[in-house]
Structure 1
Amino acid sequence: MIQQDHLQIFDLTLTVRSPLFIGDGRMYTKAEYLYCTRNGRASLLDEQKFFTFLTDRGLIDRYIQFMLCNQSNLRDFLTEDCGVSDADLNALTRYTIEAGDAVTNPPKNLYTFQRDAHDRAYIPGSSLKGALRTVWLLQAVRADQSTGHSLASDDNAAFPEEQYVNQLHLRLQKDGSIASDAVNSLFRGVQVSDSKPIPNERMALCGKFDVLPDGSFPKNSKKGIPLFRECAIPGAAVRFKLTLDQSVLKGRITKESLIDAIQQFDTYYKQTYRARFKAPSGAVNLPQQPHLILGGGSGFFAKSLAYPYLGEEKGLRWTAEQMTQMFSNHKHQDDVKPYGISPHTMKYARFRGQFYPYGYCEVSIL
């Protein structure tokens, strides 16, 4: 730790234990990326260079035909049908990573990881801060001894987190009460940098699977949902700077309280949610250390505080109602019975032939 007056600056490291997906909102189809079964690598193209190349080579019409046909491998089409050399393809490539499941399955839609202007994968500080905020709030909710909590049953229902975090007296209402806004948020005193770049050697494509409480896959989904995600893989160490401004926090959020909040969240998550699910065949046994769970695929339970706020029974019924309204075709009316948990599926990634729950990371703060 570095102490600079009221600022405490820490090195925070996420050690990825299961595939971690922080999406950039982009999706690529079979016609927009390459994968090579020979070396097990997938490549993202520079779109501008690629279309200039197709135009210069007179391949636009053939490329349109490829997009409309059942042929699924763009790399095979370019090399075998169009005679494009490996050297030409390399010149059109932005970056290359491990293809993962794409080697043994036909290419599907590919969702990419957050990258900077130099195409280096990284995790925005806002993603990590959001996860830290969630675990800290769970700790605060569980310490709250008040009873009778409730949430509206409509689509606009929101967890009232402001009553826990908007505790500063920097701005008051006309009646003298604390204004419930970001000006008074404790988390003004928590700053998280964007991570250092994640090497492409620590990135790979992973499939996505839904698993039911009995460990089985929903009907017709044993081969997975038709998409791949670009993920940071198990073993990747992702580094950040965490700054705690104690002139704002005044000891209410510390390194020790954040570590304790992660431990409490991990225990609560295991006992209340994960214990309801049997692991599918081929699932890994993750280390027993406390985990922070974040990113795409980590699921509703890792991002919502409905269960601890309402209590398990009331939280189950409220969540089932919300899920039924939002996803009417997914049979969430059965979440209370027979499943006893809502949502009634857990998201798994498949990487190198094994199944992992998404987004498990160990945290070190030094």
Structure 2
Amino acid sequence: MMTSFLKEYNIELKTVGPVFIGGGKIINKKEAIFRKASVIIIDIEKMFNYLCKKRLLDKYQDYMLDDRMDLATFLKNNNIDEKVYREWNAKELSLGDTKSTSNGDVKSKGISGFVRDGNGRVYVPGSSLKGMLRTILTGAYIIKNTGCGVAKKLDYCKQKLGNRPYKSNLEKAYKATMDDIEVQLFHKNLFSDPEGKNKLENKINDSLRGFMVSDSEYISDEDMCICQKVDVRLDGKENTLPLYRECIKPGVTIRFSITVDSTFCDYDKKSIIEAIGLFYNDSYWTKVSKQFKNVAPVINDRYTCFLGGGAGFESKTIIYPSFDRSKAVDFTSDILSVLFPDVSHNADKEVSPRVVKCTYYKNNKYLFGACILDKFSDPEEF
């Protein structure tokens, strides 16, 4: 039975743009039938069993070696109609608007699948939700405590690396700095340690161990879609990439819960909602929205947050909350110049990143990963 020091909140996020959380599976174009407005994903094991029974494995092998032939053509050539392949545990997902690319066939790299459980059901892992909220809580603390020293730690990391660090050195140093910042902000001496062996940096002293986030409720396949990645530049030019992702559609509710153990941390409804508002209000998007106003969506709801993969570098970092705009732009562009050296990241000293991650769905342009806090229940105390 839960006791009074545990407070549980029921949360609802509404997706404003498609949300993608990768499950590590790539759905090959040979495993899917692309239609004008949908994609049918085939259970390969069931299809293979059927082909064995019909003695079509030689033809299937030829098909797999032929890059010019798609699955729909293979099925048609072998007189396998829709009634048959619908029995192969086929899932039909809505297809976002597609565009041709300079790199050829947009389906050439397959589809990055959304995370699913062992029974194939879609859900958002609690680790992904907590990771988003942890970044928000970190950023909100920095905004409220401008003299906390985080900016100095980030600056020192950059100075120590010099002007042209190797990518691996940058990633290692930045991670070490972020770990140091999180120790400063969230670690406490939570347990008695008469022998002095429990160092503050140990994970056991992380106060956010008391900030527990559940997996989301299951999400129906009817609320899923396939979206193509589109990079939008400041001048409005779009780079459509041959990358597809299985996503939660815009307008879908993601339900999950947060349980706060007040013996470790003191977050409550008011402070969590305030943190979400503070983080977005001082984010990259609000600071550069004028530059992107006419070429990419801008969300005006202050309780906006970005969840999952493909949402952009800026949504996963605390750089913009840590510095004034000019310094944040310079700092971000310096990091991106190491990670992606073939692209200009700060040509006019005004904006960085200079590309936003979008997609099209039903004739509308959306930001990847954008969500709005829709409901936040009062705690239930036991």
Please give the TM-score of this superposition, normalised by the length of structure 2.
0.83
| Distance 1:146-1:119 versus aligned 2 partners, 3 A rule | closer
Matched letter for residue 365 of structure 2: F
What is the one-letter code of the residue matched to 2:127? S
Q: Unpaired runs of 5+ in structure 2?
A: 162-168, 378-382
Going from structure 1 to structure 2, the CA distance change for 1:175 and 1:143 (only over 3 Å counts) comes to farther
1:324 Cα offset (Å)? 2.0
Pick the aligned partner of 2:311 from 298, 310, 317: 298
Deviation readout 1:62-101 (Å, 9 max, x if unpaired): 33333343535312321x2110121220121342221233
Counterpart amino acid of 2:286? Q
The answer as to 2:255 corresponding to 1:239 is yes
Aligned to 1:44, which of 31, 38, 41? Answer: 41
1:30/1:72 contact within 8 Å kept: no
Task: Answer yes or no: is 1:314 the counterpart of 2:306.
Answer: no
RCO (CA 8 Å, sep 6+): is it higher in 1 or 2?
A: 2
Counterpart check, 1:267 vs 2:294: no
1:203 aligned to 2:203? no
Compute the displacement of 1:254 (Å). Answer: 1.4
Aligned residue runs from structure 1 range 120-269, under 5 A: 120-144=121-145, 145-146=147-148, 148-149=152-153, 150=155, 151-152=157-158, 153=161, 154-155=169-170, 156-158=172-174, 159=178, 160-170=181-191, 179-217=200-238, 221=239, 224-249=240-265, 251=266, 253-269=267-283
Matched, 1:350 2:350: no
The answer as to whether partners of 2:94 and 2:224 remain within 8 angstroms in 1 is yes
Structure 1: distance between partners of 2:198 and 2:67: 64
Structure-2 change in CA distance of 1:188 and 1:29 (3 Å): same
Identity over aligned residues, as a percent? 27
Shift of 1:118: 1.9
| Contact persistence 1:138–1:308 (CA under 8 A) | yes
Alignment CA distance shift 1:309-1:42 (3 Å):
same
Aligned AA (2:320): Y
Alpha-carbon spacing, 1:313–1:162, altered in 2? closer, same or farther (3 Å): farther
Separation in 2, partners of 1:338, 1:291: 28
1:365 and 2:376 aligned: yes
| 8 Å CA contact retained: 1:94, 1:119 | no
Q: Which residues of structure 1 form unaligned runs of 5+?
A: none
Deviations 1:26-67 (A, max 9, x none): 112211222334xx3322222222222233323333333333
Q: How many residues align?
A: 350
d(CA) in 2 for partners of 1:114, 1:21: 9
Q: Distance in 1 between matches of 2:199 and 2:97?
A: 52
Higher deviation after alignment, 227-236 or 168-177: 168-177
Superposition deviation, residue 340 in structure 1: 2.7
1:73 paired to 2:70: yes
Look up the equivalent residue of 1:95 and give its one-letter code.
K
Query: Which deviates more from structure 2 when the two are superposed, residues 235-244 or residues 304-313?
Result: 304-313
Q: 1:56 to 1:106 in 2, by over 3 A?
A: farther
SS in structure 2 of the partner of residue 338 of structure 1: coil
Contact 2:229 2:244 in 1 (8 A): yes
Cα separation, 2, equivalents of 1:298 and 1:274: 16
The reply on whether 1:89 has 2:85 as its aligned counterpart is yes
Q: TM-score, normalised by structure 1?
A: 0.86
Q: Distance in 1 between matches of 2:236 and 2:15?
A: 23
Residues 206 and 279 (structure 1 numbering): CA distance in 2 closer, same or farther, change over 3 Å?
farther
